[in-house]
Homo-oligomer: A and B are copies of this chain.
Amino acid sequence: MKMSYIENRKKWEEDFTFYIKVNVRFSETDLFGHLNNTIPFVYFEQARIEFLKSIGFMQHWIKNNSDIIPVVADLQCDFLHQIYFDQTLKIYVKPESAGRSSVDLHYRGVNEDGRTVLTGRGTMVQISKGSGKSHPWSEEEKQLLMRKENSTLLK
C-alpha cells in the first residue's frame, strides 16, 4: 500500500511513543463480521484526546463556556488488515508538524501480533467558537506539542 503521508514506513512506525489500548466492542462490528470502517476514527479521537490530555491541552478546552476549542480539519485512515471483535489494539499517536494554530497528528493501530492494521493522519485546528477563526498556539503550547518525548524524530 502507498500512503502518501508516510515516507519511510519503518522509521515512521518506530517513531511513535504515545499510545492507548482499546478493546474492539461487539457493537463496533458489522454484519460482515469485522470492525466497521467508521470506528477507527473513534479510536483515533480517543488516542488524540489522551495525548492532548497528557500535555495539558484538553483541560481548558472542555471548561464550560470556553470560546477556544479544537476542531478536526481533515482525517484519513488506511485499513491495512481486517480487525475483529475482542481484539486489543494499541492506537499510537504522534504530532508530525505544527502550524500557527494547527497540528498534524499521525496514527498507527497495532494488533496483538504486532501487526500494523491501521495507519492514519489528520490536522486539528484551534479555533474561536465565537468568531469561527483560527486561534494561534502560544509559544509554550507549541513547545509542548513538539517536545521530544512525543516522538523520537522531533528534536
Q: Which residues of A contact B (CB under 8 A)?
A: 1, 3-4, 25-27, 29-34, 36-39, 41-42, 45-46, 49, 53, 58, 62, 64-65, 69, 71-79, 82, 85-86, 129, 132
A42→B39 CA distance, assembly (Å): 9
Known: A30-B31, A38-B45, A45-B27. A72 touches B79 (CB 8 A): yes
Known: A30-B27, A42-B38. A78 touches B74 (CB 8 A): yes
B residues in contact with A42, CB < 8 Å: 25, 27, 38
Which residue of chain B is the closest to A31 with respect to CB atoms?
B29
Contact A25 B45 (CB under 8 A): yes
Choice from B4, B34, B37, B41 contacting A37 with Cβ under 8 Å: B41
